[in-house]
Amino acid sequence: MIELRSLRAGYRDGAVIEDVSLNFPAGKVTVLCGPNGCGKSTLLRASIGMIPRLGGEVYIDGDELSTLTRREVAQRAAYMPQERPVPSISVRRMALHGRFPYLGWPRRYTREDYAAAERALARADAAELADKPLPELSGGERQRAYLAMALSQETASVLMDEPTAFLDAAHQLAVMDTAASLAREGRAVVLVLHDLCLALRRADSIAVMDSGAVTAWGGADEVFASGALERAFKVKIRRVMTPDGWQYYYV
C-alpha cells in the first residue's frame, strides 16, 4: 500500500502537483486519469522517490519514504515508466533487470531470479519474445517487454505509466486483466491511462487530475457522476447498460 498525504512535488521550475492526498490500497487497481501535463507521471515518480518532494508525506507499507533506501523502495514498489531507452539486449535479459534490487555486486542471478523472469514474461504475454533483441521489436512488443521487467520485481506495489500505449485492443485488455490478477493477489496496482472508457470499465477506483490537483477520487459510478472527467478532458461521456455491464463512450 502507498499513501500520499498533502504531497507537493515538481522540478526546478516549481511544483507540478500540489496538496495531493491519495491511497493506493492493496488488492485494488487504481487508475490516474487527466489531460496531458496535469502531473500524473510526476505523481507516480514522487510516490517512490524518483523526484524530490517539496512537501507532504509518502508512506510505503506503513514506512515513511524518507526512511527507506532506494534498494528497499525498489523491493517494495515496481515502476514502469512512460518513456524508456531501448538497449541492444534480449527481452529475457530486460526482464532479468527487474531482479536488480535483490542482487549484490557483482550481479549473479540465482535460479529464483531466472524463475521470476520467466513468470513475468508469461504474465506480460512476452514469452514468445524472450530471445528477440529489443531494437527489433514493435512499439507494442517493447511495451510488453518492459511490463515483464516491472513484474519480475515481484513487489507488493506496481506502478505503471501508460502501460497500454502502443498496444492493440486485445493486449490492452490483457494488461488490464494482468492488473486485476495482481490486485487479487493482494498487491496495490496503479496505472496511468488515457483511455477513459477502459478506466471506467476496469478500475476499482479512479483519481482524476487536472492542473496538478486531484479533482475527483472514487469508484467509476461516483467519478462518472461527478462530471470531473468531462471537465478535465473537455469531452462529453455517456454510458449505456449492456449484458456485460456499463459501457462508456464519447460524444
Instruction: Give pLDDT tens digits for 112-160.
Output: 999 999 999 999 999 999 999 999 999 889 999 999 999 999 999 999 9
The residue-averaged pLDDT of 25-34 equals 96
**Residue closest to 204 by CA, chosen among 60, 32, 19:** 32
Tell me the C-alpha distance between 138 and 99, whole Å.
24
Residue 207 is predicted with a pLDDT of: 96
The residue-averaged pLDDT of 176-185 equals 95
Q: Is a pLDDT exceeding 90 seen at residue 226?
A: yes
CA angle, residues 239, 245, 248, in degrees to nearest 5: 25
Residue 84 is predicted with a pLDDT of: 78
Q: Is a pLDDT exceeding 90 seen at residue 186?
A: yes
Residue 107 is predicted with a pLDDT of: 85
Q: Is a pLDDT exceeding 90 seen at residue 62?
A: yes
CA gyration radius, the chain? 18
The residue-averaged pLDDT of 170-196 equals 94
Least confident of 82-86, 174-178, 224-228: 82-86
Please state, for a pLDDT cut of 70, what percent of the chain lies above it.
Answer: 100
* 35 prior amide bond cis, ω within 30: no
Residue 85 is predicted with a pLDDT of: 81
This model's pTM is above 0.95: no
Contacts with 183 (C-beta within 8 Å, 6 or more apart), sequence order: 27, 28, 29, 189, 204
CB 210 within 8 A of CB 37: no
Q: Is a pLDDT exceeding 90 seen at residue 101?
A: yes
Mean of the per-residue pLDDT values of the chain = 93
Residue 247: other Cβ atoms inside 10 A: 13
Q: Quick one: cell of 48?
A: 517512490
Residue 141 is predicted with a pLDDT of: 92
Tracing cell 486485445 back to the chain, one arrives at: 170
Q: How confident is the model at residue 181 (pLDDT cuts 50, 70, 90)?
A: very high
Q: How confident is the model at residue 251 (pLDDT cuts 50, 70, 90)?
A: confident
Residue 106 is predicted with a pLDDT of: 84
Residue 165 is predicted with a pLDDT of: 86
CB 18 within 8 A of CB 212: yes
Residue 166 is predicted with a pLDDT of: 85
Rounded to the nearest 10 degrees, the angle between the axes of helix 139-152 and helix 169-184 is 10
The residue-averaged pLDDT of 50-79 equals 95
Q: Is a pLDDT exceeding 90 seen at residue 105?
A: no
Tell me the C-alpha distance between 20 and 92, whole Å.
37
Tell me the C-alpha distance between 189 and 195, whole Å.
17
